[in-house]
Structure 1
Amino acid sequence: MVATNSLPPEFDRGVVTTVHQGDCHVSKDMELTYSTVLGSCVSACVRDREARVGGMNHFLLAEPPNSGGDKFGASARYGAFAMEQLINMVLSRGTGRKTNLEIKVFGGGNINAALNDVGARNIEFVREFLANEGYALAGIDVGGTFARRVLFKPYSGRAFVKRLDSADNARIVNDELALVTRRAPVRAPVDDIELF
C-alpha cells in the first residue's frame, strides 16, 4: 500500500474502472486499476494471491437506517452484503481457498459533523466482520478528517491512497448526505450468495 500524492508509474497506465457506492468489481486483468473516492464510505480490496484475482467494493452504511442496532438481522445487509459479495466473487474466480486472500480496507473518514458517526461505524463494522470471519488485514488506511481517492490493482494487489483537499470533501459530503437522507434502498442481490 502506498500513501502519497504522486502517482506511482504502474497506476499511470492501463484501464481504469470506477467503483461507485454499492458497486463490487472483480478482475484478473493485469492492466486494470479500480478507482474510488471515499468520505465516510469504506472500500475493501480483496485479492487471491495465488490466482492473482482481486476486486473492490464500496459501501456507505454498515447497517440500514432505523435498524435498531440488530447486528445479525436486517441491519447486517449493507456492509455484510458488500463484504460477502466481494469475498465470494474473488473466491469463486480464484483458488477458492480463504487462506489465499489478502484484504485491505480504506475510508471511514469523518469529513463532516452531520456524518460524524457514519465513518466510525463503518470502520467498526468492517473490522468486526473480518475478525468474525477469521481474516487478517494486509493493509488499512481508515479514519481521519479527510476524503481519499483509492486506486487498486487487482492483479498485483498494490493500492495507492491520495488524501483529498477540503473542496473535494465538501462535494463528497453533499453526495453522502443526499444518499443517507434519501434512505435509498440497497440493490437486491443478482443471485444468491454462499459463503465458503
Structure 2
Amino acid sequence: MALTNSLPPEFDRGVVTTVHQGDCHVSNAPDVTFSTVLGSCISACVRDRVANIGGMNHFLLAEQSGVAKDRYGASARYGAFAMEQLINKVLSQGSGKKGNLEIKVFGGGKINSALDDVGAKNIEFVRQFLALEGYTVTSEDLGGTYARRVLFKPHSGRAFVKRLDSDMNANVAREEEAIARRRVVVPAPVDDIELF
C-alpha cells in the first residue's frame, strides 16, 4: 500500500470503477481499478492471492442501538452483510480457500465534529468482525481527521491511498451528515449468508 500524492503509473490507466456507499464489486481483470472516497465510512479490499481476483466494498454504520447484545443495531447487520457479501464473492469466484485471502481496510476518519465519532465505531466494527471470522488484516489506513481516496487493483492486490484536502473533507462530511440525518440503513436480505 502506498501513501502519497502522486498516482503510480499502474493506477493511471485501464478501467476505473467507482465504488459508492452500499456497493460491492469484484473482478479479476488486470486493467481494472476500483476507486472510492471515504470519510467515516469503511472500505474493505479483499483479494484471493492464488486466483488473482479481488473486490472492494463501501459501508457506513449509521447508528448505534445502545442495546448490549445488539451493539450497533440494524446498521451492523448491514455492515456484516457488506463484509460477508464481498468475502463470499471473492471466495466463490476464486480458489474458495479462506487462507488465500488478503484483506486491507481503509477509512473511519473523523471528518465531521457534528456527528458522534462514527468513524471510530466503524473501525471497531470491521476489526471485530474480521477477528471473529478468523481473518487477519494485511494492511490498513484507518482513522485520522481526513477523508481519503482509495484505489485498489483487484488482480494484483495493490492499493493506493491519497489523503484529501480540507475542501474535499467538507464535501464528504456534508454527504455523510445528510445520510446520518436520514438514518438510511440498507437492510440486509432476509436469507442468511454463510461463509465457506
TM-score range with shorter-chain normalisation? over 0.9
| Superposed counterparts of 1:16-35, under 5 Å | 16-35=16-35
Aligned residue in 1 for 2:87: 87
| Superposed counterparts of 1:130-141, under 5 Å | 130-141=130-141
Aligned residue in 1 for 2:67: 68
Equivalent residue of 2:179, what SS?
helix
* Separation in 1, partners of 2:14, 2:192: 33
Change (3 A) 1:143 1:85: same
Equivalent residue of 1:77, what SS?
helix
Aligned residue in 1 for 2:3: 3
1:114 aligns with 2:117: no
* Separation in 1, partners of 2:39, 2:73: 26
1:171 aligns with 2:171: yes
Change (3 A) 1:192 1:30: farther
Q: Report if aligned partners of 2:74, 2:185 keep a CA contact under 8 Å in 1.
A: no
Question: Which range is displaced more, 145-154 or 185-194?
Answer: 185-194
* Separation in 2, partners of 1:105, 1:10: 21
* Separation in 1, partners of 2:190, 2:151: 26
Change (3 A) 1:159 1:131: same
Deviations 1:106-126 (A, max 9, x none): 000011112341000000011
State the Cα distance separating 1:64 from its structure 2 match: 4.5
Number of residue pairs the alignment of both structures matches = 195
* Separation in 2, partners of 1:57, 1:75: 15
Aligned residue in 2 for 1:194: 194
State the Cα distance separating 1:76 from its structure 2 match: 2.8
* Separation in 2, partners of 1:75, 1:40: 14
Q: Report if aligned partners of 1:65, 1:183 keep a CA contact under 8 Å in 2.
A: no
Aligned residue in 2 for 1:37: 37
Aligned residue in 1 for 2:150: 150
Q: Report if aligned partners of 2:78, 2:185 keep a CA contact under 8 Å in 1.
A: no
1:96 aligns with 2:92: no
Q: Report if aligned partners of 1:67, 1:75 keep a CA contact under 8 Å in 2.
A: no
State the Cα distance separating 1:75 from its structure 2 match: 5.1
Change (3 A) 1:98 1:72: farther
Amino acid at match of 1:171: N
Structure 1: runs of 5+ lacking an equivalent:
none
Q: Scaled by the length of structure 2, what TM-score is found?
A: 0.93
Change (3 A) 1:48 1:143: same
Q: Report if aligned partners of 1:64, 1:78 keep a CA contact under 8 Å in 2.
A: no
Question: Which range is displaced more, 109-118 or 140-149?
Answer: 109-118
Question: Which range is displaced more, 144-153 or 184-193?
Answer: 184-193
Q: Report if aligned partners of 1:108, 1:122 keep a CA contact under 8 Å in 2.
A: yes
Structure 2: runs of 5+ lacking an equivalent:
none
State the Cα distance separating 1:6 from its structure 2 match: 0.4
Q: Scaled by the length of structure 1, what TM-score is found?
A: 0.93
Change (3 A) 1:58 1:49: same
